[in-house]
């Protein structure tokens, strides 16, 4: 693994490919279901405008679950990072 400077004295990890180009390491978040749950909740909430209060409330409940789950996962990820 090679370290390149960003011009500000900070080293970044990455590698040099076979053509000599610097390829930085890319961090992608872990896969999670929460964005999908949140999207379902928002969709139900929006559909509830036409379908009625029950669908709006169901959408809001699912949005709350989605946001809560996503925040919980993020907190757990940060705790795991601190332990290592």
- Kindly report, residue by residue over 42-66, the tens digit of the pLDDT: 999 999 999 999 999 999 999 999 9
pTM score above 0.85: no
pLDDT band at 1 (very low <50, low <70, confident <90, very high): very low
Confidence check: pLDDT of 8 > 70: no
CA geometry: angle at 60 spanning 59 and 65, to 5°? 100
**Dihedral pair phi/psi, residue 18, rounded to 5°:** -65, -15
């Amino acid at each position: 693994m090679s370290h390149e400077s960003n011009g500000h004295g900070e080293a970044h990890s990455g590698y040099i490919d076979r053509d000599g180009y610097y390829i930085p390491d890319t961090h992608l978040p872990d896969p999670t279901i929460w964005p999908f749950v949140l999207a379902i909740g928002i969709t139900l909430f929006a559909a509830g405008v036409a379908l009625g209060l029950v669908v709006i409330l169901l959408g809001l409940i699912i949005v709350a679950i989605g946001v809560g789950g996503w925040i919980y996962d993020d907190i757990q990820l940060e705790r795991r990072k601190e332990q290592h």
